[in-house]
């Protein structure tokens, strides 16, 4: 059986999204900046896609900028807020220790340019609090950026509460909603969100298309310089097929959100129950306050990479953290921020489901995984020491 359980890394393009893209390759291929009819037909597609995103975020179409993905949207959001802050002499930014690298590395770049970042600690349940944000605010704070839902452990952050704290203090609030968009309800008005990033390939849209929402009045800084596309804020001929696919996927995901969550949550909980029944296994992040399809556990005494290879041999595609950190030997910065010791963080496994998964697939994972964990532990010198009491169990 082949099971794709790495939907937090990327998803399959839905049939609806693909159908929306197809005419844009050979029929509606004009450049939306062109004045002729083929160009204007493409411009209409672009405008319709912008309206779709605005509608489901409760925003205005003029507040929607298309980018090449979540990473670019994050970069542009942070750079824009930083520049606006710097003009007022405010160069302090608040974020968290478990953001995606698109945020953390942009903050590192900004620190080299004279900005200062405070990264909030992650409580053991994987949910930062509005009180933490409030306590970190300073007179020179220009931006708070906290992700909507974490990409590794799936925990959902108190976005409306954090937004309210920011707005009370007159500080801009950005959220990286790449894992949340299409999976959780988002309302930029009631949630006090000034800027938001999302990415189509995390909700069955195509790769290479993102959205940056920025509340009216927030002047965006260009990351890509050139032509006047996207109201002058993002140069480059628009990726019309990708944008149309993204909008169709977003509409589909938002329309089916409750149904998908009602389907996924019991599967997620079944996986969590089955996996945490394996001795010396711990769930990462709050059991309920997490994305409907996210499971993330640590198995003591094994290496996540070996686990992934053996799972792959059984047809199961999973992850040990984020796609961006796999391939490096460092354990996940998210699990370390959660307080997991290095040796425990190394034994992590993320299974991220989508509505394309089936209960039979969950049962297959639960049948195979305990055997693989036992097999790896039997071969592990570390496990041997743990079992002989020569080193203490950490979980």
Do the Cβ atoms of 196 and 177 come closer than 8 Å? yes
* Residue that the structure tokens 């953290």 belong to: 321
- Closest separation between CB of residue 1 and ligand PLP, Å? 27
Least Å distance, CB 334 to ligand PLP, is 10
* Angle at CA of residue 270, ends 284 and 2, nearest 5°: 95
Q: Is the dihedral of CA 338, 339, 345, 349 positive or negative?
A: negative
Active-site residue, selected from the candidate residues 142, 166, 254, 324: 324
Minimal CB distance residue for ligand PLP: 70
Strands (E), 116-241: 116-120, 141-145, 172-176, 195-199, 210-214
- The widest CA-to-CA distance across the chain, in whole angstroms, is 77
- Minimum distance, C-beta of residue 178 to ligand PLP, in the bound complex (Å): 4
Tokens in use for 100?
């995606």
Neighbouring CB atoms inside 10 A of 263's CB total 19
Partnered with residue 176 across adjacent β-strands are: 197
Site residues for ligand PLP per CB under 6 A: 69-71, 74, 100, 102, 147, 151, 176, 178-179, 199, 201-202, 210
Q: Which residue number, 200 or 369, has a Cβ lying nearer to ligand PLP?
A: 200
User: Which CB sits closer to ligand PLP, 304 or 321?
Assistant: 321
Which residue, 41 or 202, is less far from ligand PLP as judged by CB?
202
Query: What is the rounded CA–CA span in Å between residue 323 and residue 10?
Result: 9
Judged by CB, which is closer to ligand PLP: 336, or 394?
336
Reading the block at residue 233, the tokens are: 């804020």
| Of residues 286 and 303, the one with the C-beta less far from ligand PLP | 286
Decide: 319 and 10 in contact? Cβ < 8 Å: no
When the beta carbons of 76 and 281 are compared against ligand PLP, the nearer one is 76
Choose between 43 and 188: whose C-beta lies nearer to ligand PLP.
188
Cα–Cα nearest to 349, from 278, 392, 298: 298
Please choose, from the candidates 312, 315, 389, 320, the residue with its C-alpha nearest in 3D space to the C-alpha of residue 349.
320
Q: What is the dihedral of CA 225, 227, 232, 233, to 10 degrees?
A: -30
Task: Give the DSSP H or E segment for 96.
Answer: strand 92-96
Min dist CB 71 to ligand PLP, Å, is: 3
Our CB check for ligand PLP shows the closer of 151 and 320 to be: 151
Min dist CB 260 to ligand PLP, Å, is 18
Q: Burial, 265: exposed, middle or buried (Cβ in 10 Å; 0-12, 13-18, 19+)? A: middle
Q: Are 24 and 45 in contact (CB under 8 A)?
A: yes
- Tell me the closest approach of the beta carbon of residue 125 to ligand PLP, in angstroms: 19
Sign of CA dihedral 157, 162, 164, 170: negative
The question of whether 254 is a catalytic residue gets the answer no
CB of 147 vs ligand PLP, minimal distance in Å: 6
- Given a contact cutoff of 8 angstroms between Cβ atoms, the answer to whether 117 and 65 are in contact is no
The answer to whether 171 and 142 are in contact (CB under 8 A) is: yes
Minimum Å gap between C-beta 75 and ligand PLP is 9
**Which residues are catalytically annotated?**
324
């Amino acid at each position: 059986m082949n099971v794709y359980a790495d939907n937090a890394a990327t998803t399959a393009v839905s049939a609806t999204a693909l159908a929306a893209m197809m005419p844009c390759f050979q029929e509606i291929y004009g450049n939306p900046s062109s004045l002729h009819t083929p160009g204007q037909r493409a411009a209409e597609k672009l405008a319709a896609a912008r309206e779709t995103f605005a509608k489901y975020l409760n925003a205005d179409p003029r507040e929607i900028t298309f980018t090449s993905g979540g990473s670019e949207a994050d970069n542009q959001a942070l750079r824009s807020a930083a520049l606006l802050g710097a003009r007022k002499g405010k160069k302090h930014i608040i974020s968290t220790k478990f953001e995606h690298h698109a945020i953390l590395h942009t903050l590192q770049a900004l620190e080299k340019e004279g900005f200062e970042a405070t990264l909030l600690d992650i409580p053991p349940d994987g949910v930062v609090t509005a009180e933490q944000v409030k306590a970190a605010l300073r007179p020179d704070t220009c931006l708070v950026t906290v992700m909507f839902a974490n990409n590794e452990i799936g925990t959902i952050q108190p976005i409306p509460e954090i937004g309210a704290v920011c707005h009370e203090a007159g500080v801009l609030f950005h959220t990286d909603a790449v894992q949340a968009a299409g999976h959780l309800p988002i309302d930029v008005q009631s949630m006090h969100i000034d800027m938001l990033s999302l990415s189509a390939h995390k909700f069955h849209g195509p790769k290479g298309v993102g959205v940056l929402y920025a509340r009216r009045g927030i002047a965006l800084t260009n990351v890509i310089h050139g032509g006047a596309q996207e109201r002058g804020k993002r140069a480059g001929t628009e990726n019309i097929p990708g944008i149309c696919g993204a909008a169709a996927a977003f509409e589909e995901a938002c329309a089916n959100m409750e149904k998908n969550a009602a389907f996924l949550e019991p599967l997620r909980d079944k996986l969590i129950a089955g996996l945490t029944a394996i001795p010396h296994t711990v769930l990462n992040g709050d059991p309920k306050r997490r994305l409907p399809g996210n499971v993330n556990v640590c198995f003591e005494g094994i290496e996540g990479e070996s686990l992934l290879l053996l799972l792959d041999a059984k047809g199961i595609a999973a992850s040990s953290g984020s796609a961006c950190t796999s391939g490096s030997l460092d354990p996940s910065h998210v699990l370390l921020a959660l307080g997991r010791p290095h040796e425990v963080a190394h034994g992590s496994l993320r299974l991220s489901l989508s509505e394309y998964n089936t209960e039979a697939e969950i049962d297959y994972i639960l049948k195979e995984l305990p055997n693989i964990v036992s097999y790896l532990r039997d071969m592990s010198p570390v496990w041997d020491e743990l079992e002989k009491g020569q080193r203490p169990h950490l979980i």
